[in-house]
C-alpha cells in the first residue's frame, strides 16, 4: 500500500487516466474528487461489501416453515 500526504487542492495520478484530488477537508473528513474514464467503475468499498453481504444472505438456505404453514392454511 502506498501512503501519501496531500494538502487541499493537491492531487495524485493513477496510471495515465485517473486523477484523485483533495477537494475539501473539514472536521476530520476528507472529500475526494476522482476523474476517471467512463469505462472505469469508481465505487465506494462499503457499498460493494454491503451488496456482497446481501447476496450471501439471499442465497443462504431459508427456513421454509412459515411457507408450509401458509400452504396448510390454503390447503395447497
pLDDT of residue 76: 61
Whether the full predicted model's pTM is greater than 0.85, yes or no, is no
pLDDT of residue 70: 82
Q: What is the dihedral of CA 31, 34, 39, 42, to 10 degrees?
A: -30
Whether 25 and 31 have beta carbons less than 8 Å apart is answered as yes
Whether 37 and 17 have beta carbons less than 8 Å apart is answered as yes
CA distance 29 to 32: 10
Confidence of residue 71 (pLDDT cuts 50, 70, 90): confident
Domain boundary assignment for the chain: 11-73
Residue position matching grid coordinates 474528487? 33
53's enclosing H/E stretch is helix 45-59
73 vs 29 pLDDT, higher one = 29
Amino acid at each position: 500500500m502506498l501512503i501519501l500526504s496531500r494538502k487541499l487542492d493537491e492531487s495524485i495520478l493513477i496510471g495515465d487516466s485517473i486523477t484523485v484530488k483533495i477537494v475539501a477537508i473539514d472536521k476530520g473528513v476528507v472529500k475526494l474528487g476522482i476523474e476517471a474514464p467512463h469505462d472505469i467503475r469508481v465505487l465506494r468499498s462499503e457499498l460493494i461489501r454491503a451488496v456482497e453481504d446481501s447476496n450471501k444472505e439471499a442465497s443462504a438456505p431459508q427456513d421454509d416453515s412459515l411457507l408450509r404453514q401458509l400452504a396448510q392454511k390454503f390447503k395447497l
